[in-house]
Amino acid sequence: MSTPIRAILSFIIYGLFAVSPAWLSAAEPPFPVTEAQRQTLPDEQILDGVVEAVNKSTVSAQTAGRVEEIMVDVNDFVPQGAPIVRIRNIEQRAGLEQAQAALREAQARFIEADAEYKRIRGVYEKQLVSKAQMDSATAALNAAKARLEAAQAGVAQAKESLGYTTINAPYSGIVLERHVELGETVQPGKPLMTGFSLDELRVIVNVPQRLIGPVRQYSQARVLPPNGGPGIPAEKLTFFPYADPQSNVFKVRVYLPPKTEGFYPGMFVKTAFRVGEDQRLTVPRAALAQRGEVSAVYVIKDGRVNLRQVRPGRVEGDQIEIL
């Protein structure tokens, strides 16, 4: 393609050939044409990577007790906040009732101490009681208030302990492993379930030392879908600050946009990193004619239309590279 080439929209050409074959005598062809353009496109290096979940965690027991109910199993999808394991809560419920009773007692004693304080203060202002009696009433009120606050904290702690008997999913995701059986007695720290979220994914890529410089410089990448199609621009890249001493590669995390479909943890994918830029020949994607496994464009040269086979390259918006 040493001379300017005008790629013609193939589906329009077919229709015009059928109804008006005499267009060649006209000064200008009666159909849309466009010149192939040389554009500055990113120069990319394609490397292999593995998809992993950003959020992957193991949920553990925070209280002791016997496992009373297991709501989910391996490979189940669990929405955020849904219960996944329930531990027998008789002891924790009794602790809450005891704390609530202590709170009611503390409230009654505080009301009593407050009333006594107000009574003593009234007569103290009239100088009918000594300062020692006033100080005693003040101290009794402060002590009652402290006991009330301690009782309120005890109720809050008891409620939290009771809440620990129902374990909820920290985020929406898939159950990967189950570490507990029904009827098993667990202690705080015992792993219960392991899961991961599909909402946020990233690709782990080993970048050779010779490429890490330009990869860092441009910090742009596209993750190529396994089934083909244009690459998905990365949300961000993070770089490990050291190389593997044996392989001399740097690990790079390539983050996919949230809720990207078609990717799953453990998948093997290719990632295109920008390492420079270059001038490339491009034509509109609509001008590319596909005939079985052959890609071609219609070109005008010396007043004649010819179908020329081409090798398409990377897609950039509505343009496609011609290699």
Quick: pLDDT tens for 254-294. 999 998 888 999 999 999 998 877 766 777 766 777 776 77
Under-70 pLDDT residues of the chain: 1-37, 39-41, 279-280, 285-286, 292, 303, 309, 313-319, 321, 323
Cα–Cα distance measured from residue 195 to residue 78, given in angstroms and rounded to the nearest whole number: 9
* pLDDT at position 104: 94
CATH superfamily of 6-54+200-322: Efflux pump adaptor protein, beta barrel domain (2.40.30.170)
SS3 21: helix
* pLDDT at position 14: 36
* pLDDT at position 314: 67
* pLDDT at position 36: 66
Cα–Cα distance measured from residue 311 to residue 22, given in angstroms and rounded to the nearest whole number: 31
In Å, what is the CA distance from 100 to each residue of 113, 161, 187? Answer: 20, 14, 25
* pLDDT at position 319: 67
Query: In angstroms, how far is CA 54 from the centroid of its own chain?
Result: 6
Q: What pTM did the predictor assign?
A: 0.63
The CATH T-level fold of domain 56-84+170-196 is OB fold (Dihydrolipoamide Acetyltransferase, E2P) (2.40.50)
Residue of 199, 268, 203 lying closest to 55 (CA atoms): 199
Cα–Cα distance measured from residue 139 to residue 117, given in angstroms and rounded to the nearest whole number: 9
User: Which segments of the chain belong to CATH 2.40.30.170?
Assistant: 6-54+200-322
Tokens representing 131 are: 């300062």
Cα–Cα distance measured from residue 31 to residue 15, given in angstroms and rounded to the nearest whole number: 10
**Burial degree of 114 (CB within 10 A; 0-12, 13-18, 19+):** middle
How many other C-beta atoms are found inside a 10 Å radius of the C-beta of residue 113?
21
User: Which segments of the chain belong to CATH 2.40.50.100?
Assistant: 56-84+170-196
User: Which segments of the chain belong to CATH 1.10.287?
Assistant: 89-164
CATH of domain 89-164: 1.10.287
Cα–Cα distance measured from residue 274 to residue 99, given in angstroms and rounded to the nearest whole number: 62
